[in-house]
Structure 1
Amino acid sequence: MHPRAAEPAESFGIDGLRSSVLRAWRDSPTRFTEDTNAEHDLRVGGYRDRLLVELAQNAADAAALAGTPGRLRVTLAGRELRVANTGAPLDAAGVAALASLRASAKPEGRTVGRFGVGFAAVLAVCTEPRVVSRDGGVAFSAARTVAATGADGAVPVLRLPWPLPPGEPPPPEGFDTEVRLPLAEGVDTAGLVDRLAAEVPELLLALPWLGAIEVEGKEWRRTDFGAGLLELTGPDGTTLRWLTHAVPGAAARWALPVDEAGVPRPLEADVLHAPTPTDERLSLPARLIATLPIEPSRRRVLPGEAATAVLESAARGYPELVRAVAPEHRLALVPAAGFPLSEVDESVRELVRAALRADPWLPAASGGPDLPGGRARLLEADAPDLVEPLAEVLPGLVAAPLCGHPRARVAARVGATPVGTAELIEAVTGIARPVGWWYRLYGALLAAVDGGRLALDELGALPVPLVDGRTLPGPRGALLADTGTGLPGLLSEVDIVGLRVVHPEAAHPLLERLGARKAGPADLLAAPELREAVERSLADALSGMDTGPLAEVLLRLVSESGPGAAGGLAGLALPGESGWRRAEELVLPGAELLEVLDPEALGPDAPLEVLDAEFAGRWPAEVLAGVGVLDSFTVLTDEEPAGPEHDLPEEADWWDAVAPCRVHAVRDLDLVADDAWPAALRLLAASPDTWRALTEPGGHTGWWIARYALLAGRAPAQWRLPEATALAGLYDPVPDLGVRADLLRAAGVLAELVIADAADAAELLDRLGDPERAVAPGPAARAHAALADAELPLPELDPPERVRTLEGAVADAERAMVLDRPWLAAVLPARRLVAVPGWDRAGRLAELLDLPAASECVAAVPPADGEYVDWAELGAVRLAAELLALELPAGGVVVHDRLTVTVEGQPHEVTWWCAEHPHAEDSSAGLANALAWAADRWPDRHLLAALLDDPTATTLLT
């Protein structure tokens, strides 16, 4: 037996307490009623379901008084519930508190009560409670109170303390106090034990002085690991971890559920603990355990300054709890939005949010001190990789992984500023950072885009560092140069206005997605900005600027891309022997072109100059030629020319003569030395491009060379090929110049008669009228036919002074006429007649030569005799027509034995004539000519004459 279990009850002053209460009841019967009612209110009100809560709270207070974490044990002895605890034993003050409905034995400064009004909770299950301690004990009894007062009905059980029954056993071994509760009828013992067991974890958390609670052999333990971390272990080995923080100087603690790794498991709904559960619902992620003024019901906080002061103190300590959590989980402790669950919830939430706005708790991306919510900035994009590069340029940026729209919304509740894409772009615009920093930024942005966490079209204004040190506002149109060529390094040394080449160390795939273009050497050569720099380069060089780097870049680009990509760069300034010149005005040292150029074409003030030899030696000839430096003749091409504006010699004359639809011509032809044309022609034939220009139909090159080049002192068009005998007499054969025939023909040496324009016609007329030339009738007739057939503008052609006549001689044009009717040749002298094959050409030739037609000059009168005969009545005519399948003309012919016509009073015997009707002498020749003319079969006149003499098939065929 406990050595002090039998100590007299008077040591606790029980008899005195009981006597004073009974005396008070006798003196004031209403006091008895008041105590009865008060106890009833406590039993059915605030303490109705707080049995274990109140007993555990008393046990915790006892452990605190003893200075050692306590233990609590709940057991059943039959139908008696026994709750034993360790710690300070029951004393006189405790007994007095038990017997008082309005008093408590809590020492000042303690956080829990010690045998106060809360003991009334036992009345919910028992009317005969006993408290047994190692220093004695006390009993309460409804039956004994009835007996003592003679009352009929309800009595206040806890107002009269009684000694323990004789033989009351001491507390169990290892415990200092035990409350023994004989359960009233109707109490479900099993259900009661289960309810008490369910409350154990909450009590171990709320009452830090309790280290273990056992219920019917099942023990829950509390283990403190330090730094506010504790673990509650259940009978089955399951554990619950809590991170707690006692607010310094305040009767308040915060408790946060965490897992084994320390990751918070925020509460979604809870109640205020003061320190045990109340009915004040809270929506905070952590539990608030605070000593607050509570209404007598123990359910609600008693409003007032005292409660406000406690809540304010608790809120000020909340950031410290948050800081105890790993940085990446701290946002989980921001109070949720939405309607508050109670007035206390609304007040505490606002106080906590204010504390989080003002106190540092968010990790800084810069690595510096934590940030208060009110000065923090969170990326709206869920892109943790973005945080590191942006930490340097966004003050107050919160560290990764605290980013993304949901987290930013949470942080905004406590004053943090969300950083959207627009703000991000603005923050990095206009800043100076190493190129590698930009590349890291682009990588993080692209990862966010590919992960669907960032919209690509929001990044259009993203700055891009260029090779020249500038930063471009937006990648669209920028060029991503091939880093393997070394070109970006060269470009960085050249100031090309408007050329936007991304720095090679910043050339990230994101930029291409945003509109930047991959640019190899050929693409860079095509850049308008670079071409503009080329066009300005000569003026820049002459003004004293160093254009050498530009030339180096251009030539390197041409070397990388091939000369075919270098079109349009002929304006590049390069060093000549005496100064800077456009590339197209320079000739390579040792080029074959130098051998055919006129010496006066080269020099400082001449159209061309030789490229500086030292500079030329640094680059392959084909690269220099690619930018326009001349190594041979150069071809100029314009597929849609607007006019004669290509600086070609006599271009306007060619344009008027040909009206070209394109220009594809060799330039600098007028710079060839007069005696070098055979070599120049061979040089033109050596290149496919110049050969095509030379042979292009209607092209300027062939046109100009034929007229202005010199072969043996004459233009090519003034010579004929030796084999072109049809032009004999009109043109002299070209001498042997060592130039092949097809090249001579391409240069304009005649292989046949060609009249392209009025100049050609004038040239031919001069040759026809040259008395020094012996022109046979055949070439003369063909020349007249070519003149008549040419569509020439007559106002541009001067009529000749001399003409070639039918007899082959030259006559003054004043005495000549064009034979336009065949019968007139019989009465006019051949020395005055100009003839042309095809009578339909005669009128055009007469107009071209400004000569009268013979029919306009002769007034002939045929004889009146003769016999008119219808063609069909002439048998020989009819037979000949049948053999030739000739349809006889309408009408007939006037037949004469002898036909004489009078011209200017002089008679002329002729074989045929034509006036109102055809006239013919009665001969085969006369009838054949008349029939051929009338039937429009003039070329068949000689065959008709033969058939009229012998109208047989043999004559026709032989």
Structure 2
Amino acid sequence: MSLPTPDPFGTGALRASVRRAWADSPTRFTEDTNAERDLRVGAYRDRLFVELAQNAADASAEAGVPGVVRVSVVDGELRFANTGAPLDARGVASLSSLRASAKEGLVGKFGVGFAAVLAVSSAPRVISRTGGVAFSEARTRDEIGQDGEVPVLRLPWPVDEQVPEGFDTEVRLPLRPEVDQDELLARLESEVEDLLLALPALTRVEVGGVWQRSEVDGYVEISAPDGAVRRWLTQEAPGGLWAVPMSDEGPEPLAEDVLRAPTPTDERLSLPARLIANIPLEPSRRRVLPGADVVAPARAYPDLVRRLAPEDRPSLVPSAGFPLSEVDGELREAVRRGLAEQPWLPAVGDDLPASGARVLGVESPELVELLGDLVPRLVKLSGYDVAQVLATVDADRLDIPELVELLTGVERPPSWWHSLYDALLPLLESHEIAKDELGALPVPLADGRTLPGPRGALLFGSGELLDLLAEADVLGLRLVHPEAAHPLLEQLGAKQADAVELLEAPGLREAVERSVEDAESGLDTRPLAEAVLRLVSETTVEGLGALALPCEDGWRRADELILPTSPLLEVLDPDVIGEELSLLDKDFAEQWSPGVLTAAGVLDGFRVTEDGIRDLDLVADDKWPEALRLLESERETWQALLHGPSGEWLSRNALLDGNTPDEWRLPDAESLAGLYDPIPDLGVRPEVLVAVGVRTELVVEDIEDAADLLNRLGDADRTVAPGAISRAYGALAAAELDLSELDAPERVRAVDGTVVAAEDAAVLDKPWLATLWPADRLVAAAEPERIAELLDIPLLSELISGRPGEGEFVPWRELTAIRLVAELLDLPLPEGGVLVHEELTVEVDGVKRATPWWVESGGFHGEHHAEDSSAGLARAFCWAADRWADRHLVTALLDDPDPLTPWS
């Protein structure tokens, strides 16, 4: 017989007390069962590790020893061993009571958290060096003699088991069959880091390896089994602790978390730092008790922020957005209020509260450093994102336009402004600020004045250049102080004061534009002319043609003057010299190279403008060949001839051997023979002749072209080949012109080349009518209706009509020769057939006339007639098949059905 198990905690009395309570009040048993079920499936369903770790932390804190926890699975049991105060009688009483908690026991401070073990076990045991107790669903059911659901944690029994060496207490949980051991351990391991942070009494947890907690200078370091170390910056607060995870790069603010009290609750938070607070919770330990003070810890939040490097502090400002819970809303508002009212933002002097602080809206520490003594309450942090964040705690953003306005009137040495430009340039190049925002940026000038904006300012670098400009006495040149000269000013509209930039400076341009007027009013403009030409000798710019230069009869614009040695003098009409143009003063011209003078606008040859080649209208009528040779000798004028409007003007206005260029053709343009005469040899290259309008092909571009071509067709002195006649009328028909603008010609060209009076002619519109009308009165062309309208003569079908005699109807498919030809040429046979006549005659105005084919009702699907001949059948077939262009080939094949005929 075995010895009875010791019962140091009086579990027998506890069981008896519970059984009496159940016997005295049958509803009490049901209440206990329901209460335990609620805890198991509700409040504590997923808090096993949290609650056991909290108990372990309480035990180690009570005993004043480092808290060590070891979690393992042995023979199907989850075992949770810990150091600290061992199990005592009050603790056992709390364990077996669903409505009580030993404040210094194992079940936490505000709830009966041990019920969390029921999620994985129906027979938990607690073994301590002072004794042990066990609970069992099966033993409880046997004890009371009742089937069905029973409470597990109401009846304790003593157990006599040993605690693992090095530990004071161990919770042993035989796992339910449905519990996955690996999954359970993995879930427990995932909670270790959070619990080590939330429970300072714990220093070591063994689960899946060893986890360690250490604390140095307000930093909590938690090392994982794989060697990884997570650091948390912590800050004591009234009634709690703030913590934010840290990396080597700085803080890693949280995006979303829950309130810890000290273990996780269901109160969702959106603060960047974790709050572990001593806040009363509901019995479920998931919600804050209504009316509890949750904002007290917020008073220390700025202290946490101040412990970060200045550049990292904005990362702990709560982001804008809706709170995740009522507690979150209260805390966020309290934290923001604290950040707005307490100093924490780095400034030139002491830290500043956020409320009313100024934050530069672009990121530039250099710019902030320069502005520190100019802008009150300026924060050392800067950047758009920082400003947006700090705006949520009442800081004011300082944007560049306002900064520029603040700088207006500020007196600083030129070198200070240079440093300011140094700080602004990278911001402009990275597009963080726009040029328009810096339009009024002050610029110190060499004369001591400050210019309100860089536009129009000039950057210079040599005394010689200054002397030259002073001698020219050009007003409006605003020269930047050399110690303030900076590339930023160039990007904002200032110009480098080299030759190019000075020549394009508005002040100098204005002086050039009014120089002739000034000269005529008696002012000495020679220094300006010499200054401009001196600059032109170093570079080349356009638009200086208004510069006043001396000529034989006073002063004129440079672009109205000709060099005394210019070849233009050989081709221009002598009468225009002294009127439209003048000669540059010879003595003045000898002081400068021709290249400098022409760069300033003086003419040495034809000049190209936006509108084309200028002064062509000044060429003498008998000098056009020489003028064309001069135009082709210069690349600029030659390109303008090829690609600009001047070629078209020359085609109608230049005179070559008495005619305009568009009245001639090149000698090798044989297709135009008869219509246009070949141009005589004038010593001008063919490509130049083409560029000025001498014809190489038949083109009708406008009404004038059309009228001229009609006149040439009606000119009886011209001999025009039939092909050229057809092409001419085709070009007229294809031209996209309003024919109503043309006068109808009196004479037209017939198909045989005869010129006939328009009133006696007709336009062939139906090919089977051709044999019934004299060829010398017949006009044939594509688009006959349009040609008839153009020439104001009738269509032939409007003048004659006829009716053929009787013929024999033969389907196309029964005409063997036609069928063979169609197969050889891959032509589809048309529907229907043809009326075949041994001799086809058509009665016109009572007279019978022979014709090879006829279409009675018009169109491709009319009644087709053909004489029994190759020519007649081929024409009828090709018209019916819509292959009229193949009629001659079909005729040849009908005459000679050799397959080689199409290729020979």
TM (normalized to structure 1)?
0.51
Amino acid corresponding to residue 455 of structure 1 in structure 2: A
Does structure 2 conserve the Cα–Cα contact (< 8 Å) formed by 1:100 and 1:116? no
Partner of 1:231: 221
CA gap 1:500/1:34 in 2 versus in 1, 3 angstroms: same
* 2:81 paired with 1:63: no
CA distances 1:581-630 after superposition (whole Å, capped 9, x unpaired): xxxxxxxxxxxxxxxxxxxxxxxxxxxxxxxxxxxxxxxxxxxxxxxxxx
Query: Aligned partners of 2:33, 2:257: CA distance in 1, in Å?
Result: 35
Query: Aligned partners of 2:161, 2:117: CA distance in 1, in Å?
Result: 20
* 2:90 paired with 1:93: yes
Partner of 1:373: 354
Partner of 2:773: none
Pick one of 116, 124, 129 that aligns with 1:129: 124
Partner of 1:445: 424
CA drift of 1:282 comes to 2.3
CA distances 1:373-400 after superposition (whole Å, capped 9, x unpaired): 2233222223443222222322233325
Partner of 2:212: 221
CA distances 1:663-701 after superposition (whole Å, capped 9, x unpaired): 9999xxxxxxxxxxxxxxxxxx99989xxxxxxxxxxxx
1:248-267 equivalences under 5 Å are 249-250=238-239, 252-259=240-247, 261-267=248-254
Pick one of 359, 367, 375 that aligns with 1:386: 367
Does structure 2 conserve the Cα–Cα contact (< 8 Å) formed by 1:72 and 1:213? yes
CA drift of 1:462 comes to 0.3
Query: Aligned partners of 2:553, 2:70: CA distance in 1, in Å?
Result: 109
Greater C-alpha Rg: 1
Query: Aligned partners of 1:686, 1:100: CA distance in 2, in Å?
Result: 120
Partner of 2:486: 508
Does structure 2 conserve the Cα–Cα contact (< 8 Å) formed by 1:62 and 1:114? no
Pick one of 386, 408, 427 that aligns with 2:387: 408
Query: Aligned partners of 1:426, 1:23: CA distance in 2, in Å?
Result: 87
1:468-547 equivalences under 5 Å are 468-482=447-461, 500-519=478-497
Query: Aligned partners of 1:20, 1:149: CA distance in 2, in Å?
Result: 13
Partner of 1:280: 267
1:291-306 equivalences under 5 Å are 291-304=278-291, 306=292
Give the 3-state SS of the residue equivalent to 1:17 in structure 2.
helix
Structure 2, unaligned stretches of length 5 or more? 511-525, 534-551, 559-577, 592-904
Pick one of 175, 178, 182 that aligns with 2:170: 178
Amino acid corresponding to residue 137 of structure 2 in structure 1: A
CA gap 1:510/1:528 in 2 versus in 1, 3 angstroms: closer
CA distances 1:283-330 after superposition (whole Å, capped 9, x unpaired): 2222222233323333333332x1xx22x1222222222222222222
1:739-818 equivalences under 5 Å are none
Give the 3-state SS of the residue equivalent to 1:398 in structure 2.
strand
CA gap 1:178/1:421 in 2 versus in 1, 3 angstroms: same
Amino acid corresponding to residue 309 of structure 2 in structure 1: A
CA distances 1:151-197 after superposition (whole Å, capped 9, x unpaired): 44333222233222xxx232111111111122233333233222222
Amino acid corresponding to residue 263 of structure 2 in structure 1: T
CA drift of 1:50 comes to 1.0
Amino acid corresponding to residue 368 of structure 2 in structure 1: V
Partner of 1:245: 235
Does structure 2 conserve the Cα–Cα contact (< 8 Å) formed by 1:230 and 1:241? yes
CA gap 1:38/1:464 in 2 versus in 1, 3 angstroms: same
CA drift of 1:101 comes to 1.4
Query: Aligned partners of 2:434, 2:500: CA distance in 1, in Å?
Result: 33
Does structure 1 conserve the Cα–Cα contact (< 8 Å) formed by 2:495 and 2:505? no
Partner of 1:539: none
Amino acid corresponding to residue 439 of structure 1 in structure 2: H
Q: CA RMSD in A?
A: 4.2
Partner of 1:163: 158
CA gap 1:424/1:284 in 2 versus in 1, 3 angstroms: same
Partner of 2:32: 35
Partner of 2:100: 103
Give the 3-state SS of the residue equivalent to 1:242 in structure 2.
strand
CA distances 1:69-95 after superposition (whole Å, capped 9, x unpaired): 211001222012211001122223222
Give the 3-state SS of the residue equivalent to 2:44 in structure 1.
coil
Partner of 1:892: none
Give the 3-state SS of the residue equivalent to 1:375 in structure 2.
coil
CA drift of 1:527 comes to 9.6
Partner of 1:762: none
Query: Aligned partners of 2:465, 2:475: CA distance in 1, in Å?
Result: 20
Query: Aligned partners of 2:332, 2:369: CA distance in 1, in Å?
Result: 32
CA gap 1:203/1:525 in 2 versus in 1, 3 angstroms: closer
Partner of 2:778: none
Amino acid corresponding to residue 423 of structure 2 in structure 1: A
Partner of 1:199: 191
CA gap 1:472/1:208 in 2 versus in 1, 3 angstroms: same
CA gap 1:500/1:25 in 2 versus in 1, 3 angstroms: same
Partner of 1:338: 321
Does structure 2 conserve the Cα–Cα contact (< 8 Å) formed by 1:97 and 1:115? no
* 2:134 paired with 1:139: yes
CA drift of 1:103 comes to 1.8
Give the 3-state SS of the residue equivalent to 1:321 in structure 2.
helix
Does structure 1 conserve the Cα–Cα contact (< 8 Å) formed by 2:91 and 2:106? no
Amino acid corresponding to residue 435 of structure 1 in structure 2: P
Partner of 2:22: 25
Structure 1, unaligned stretches of length 5 or more? 1-5, 533-557, 568-634, 642-658, 667-684, 690-958
Query: Aligned partners of 1:319, 1:636: CA distance in 2, in Å?
Result: 86
Query: Aligned partners of 1:22, 1:531: CA distance in 2, in Å?
Result: 112
Amino acid corresponding to residue 463 of structure 1 in structure 2: P
Partner of 1:289: 276
Does structure 2 conserve the Cα–Cα contact (< 8 Å) formed by 1:7 and 1:136? no
Query: Aligned partners of 2:56, 2:557: CA distance in 1, in Å?
Result: 106
CA gap 1:517/1:140 in 2 versus in 1, 3 angstroms: same
TM (normalized to structure 2)?
0.53
Query: Aligned partners of 2:175, 2:46: CA distance in 1, in Å?
Result: 15
Query: Aligned partners of 2:483, 2:64: CA distance in 1, in Å?
Result: 68
CA drift of 1:638 comes to 4.3
CA drift of 1:100 comes to 2.0
Does structure 2 conserve the Cα–Cα contact (< 8 Å) formed by 1:637 and 1:663? no
CA gap 1:246/1:522 in 2 versus in 1, 3 angstroms: closer
1:651-800 equivalences under 5 Å are none
Does structure 2 conserve the Cα–Cα contact (< 8 Å) formed by 1:75 and 1:81? yes
Give the 3-state SS of the residue equivalent to 2:19 in structure 1.
helix
CA drift of 1:120 comes to 0.7
Query: Aligned partners of 2:362, 2:13: CA distance in 1, in Å?
Result: 75
Query: Aligned partners of 1:415, 1:227: CA distance in 2, in Å?
Result: 32
CA distances 1:131-159 after superposition (whole Å, capped 9, x unpaired): 12122232223334334434443332222
Give the 3-state SS of the residue equivalent to 2:298 in structure 1.
helix
Give the 3-state SS of the residue equivalent to 2:53 in structure 1.
helix
CA drift of 1:435 comes to 2.2
CA drift of 1:255 comes to 2.2
CA drift of 1:264 comes to 1.8
Aligned residues: 539
1:425-436 equivalences under 5 Å are 425-436=404-415
Amino acid corresponding to residue 255 of structure 1 in structure 2: A
Query: Aligned partners of 1:220, 1:99: CA distance in 2, in Å?
Result: 32
Does structure 1 conserve the Cα–Cα contact (< 8 Å) formed by 2:111 and 2:284? no
Give the 3-state SS of the residue equivalent to 2:378 in structure 1.
coil
* 2:142 paired with 1:154: no
Give the 3-state SS of the residue equivalent to 1:512 in structure 2.
helix
Does structure 2 conserve the Cα–Cα contact (< 8 Å) formed by 1:363 and 1:371? yes
